[in-house]
């Protein structure tokens, strides 16, 4: 079980993301610097206890309407070989020292635990409290056998697409669109997904589909 340390980070996660988000093809903001606020998220445990895994939701108020972004991050005590392109930045942690923060879609530890979450083998954890499950994260899987974790991640204007050589695509929705009440409508060929909630500006919590697992590689 990951232990959450309440300590100082320099720079903060929001400061790192303010610089990094505009470089993403799925970023919807304009030329102005993002105005980010933490809106929610959850954590997953690394079975080896080495890598921090956090799914952060931030809202950007720099445009005419707030936009919610999903940012899966991993935190490591040393650089991840071959992942220089996925480095979000480094931080000084008040307890753990220097930490390397990566876009978790390119980190095999996060991808493996995300597959376990969708299959029902992993439990989402509260973002801020050690040892408390996050019951708002709901996963569903209708496939057969284990989900391959040999994914290749590609960013596009719609989000991040993780494809395997075995004919599957895991689509992460990086720009979150709140769902309306009623059944969740998934695309044809979907065999798994998970939903979660966050707190947009205002009093009403929002829920959305965060990721969908498809058969086929063109999702």
Predicted confidence (pLDDT) per residue in 21-60, tens digit: 999 999 999 888 999 999 999 999 999 999 999 999 999 9
Rounded CA gap, 57 and 69, in Å? 6
Q: How sure is the predictor about 101, in pLDDT bands with cuts at 50, 70 and 90? A: very high
Instruction: Kindly report each contact of residues 63-67 with a partner whose C-beta sits within 8 Å and lies 24 or more positions away, as own/partner.
Output: 63/28, 63/29, 63/30, 63/32, 66/200, 66/201, 67/28, 67/29, 67/175
Residue 13 pLDDT more than 70?
yes
Cβ 74 vs Cβ 112: under 8 Å:
no
Domain ranges of the chain: 9-215
With H, G, I as helix, E, B as strand and everything else as coil, classify residue 33. Answer: coil
Q: If you write DSSP's letter for every residue of 104-122 in order, what string do you get?
A: GGG-HHHHHHHHHHHHTSS
The more confidently predicted of residues 179 and 4 is 179
Which pLDDT score, from 0 to 100, does residue 2 have?
62
Q: How sure is the predictor about 218, in pLDDT bands with cuts at 50, 70 and 90? A: low
Predicted confidence (pLDDT) per residue in 125-141, tens digit: 999 898 899 999 999 99
Which pLDDT score, from 0 to 100, does residue 30 have?
84
Residue 99 bridge partners (DSSP): 91
Beta strands in the chain (DSSP E): 9-10, 36-44, 52-60, 67-76, 87-93, 97-103, 138-141, 152-156, 159-163, 168-172, 190-198, 206-215
Residue 86 pLDDT more than 90?
yes
Whole-number Cα distances in Å, 36 to 61, 89, 94, 162, 196: 7, 17, 23, 26, 19
């Amino acid at each position: 079980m990951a232990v959450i340390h309440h300590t100082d980070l320099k720079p903060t996660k929001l400061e790192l993301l303010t610089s990094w988000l505009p470089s993403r093809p799925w970023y919807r903001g304009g030329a102005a610097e993002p105005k980010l606020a933490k809106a929610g998220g959850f954590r997953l445990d690394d079975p080896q206890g080495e890598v921090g895994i956090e799914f952060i939701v931030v809202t950007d108020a720099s445009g005419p309407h707030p936009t919610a972004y999903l940012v899966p991050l991993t935190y490591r005590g040393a650089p991840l070989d071959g992942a220089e392109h996925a480095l979000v930045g480094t931080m000084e942690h008040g307890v753990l020292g220097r930490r390397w923060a990566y876009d978790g879609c390119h980190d095999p530890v996060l991808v493996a635990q995300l597959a376990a979450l969708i299959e029902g083998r992993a439990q989402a954890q509260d973002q801020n409290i050690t040892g408390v499950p996050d019951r708002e994260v709901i996963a569903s899987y209708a496939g057969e056998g284990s989900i391959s974790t040999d994914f290749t991640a590609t960013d596009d204007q719609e989000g991040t697409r993780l494809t395997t050589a075995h004919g599957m695509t895991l689509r992460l929705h990086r720009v979150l669109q709140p769902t309306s009440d009623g059944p969740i409508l998934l695309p044809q060929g979907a065999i798994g997904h998970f939903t979660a909630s966050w707190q947009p500006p205002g009093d009403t919590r929002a829920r959305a589909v965060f990721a969908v697992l498809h058969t086929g590689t063109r999702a």
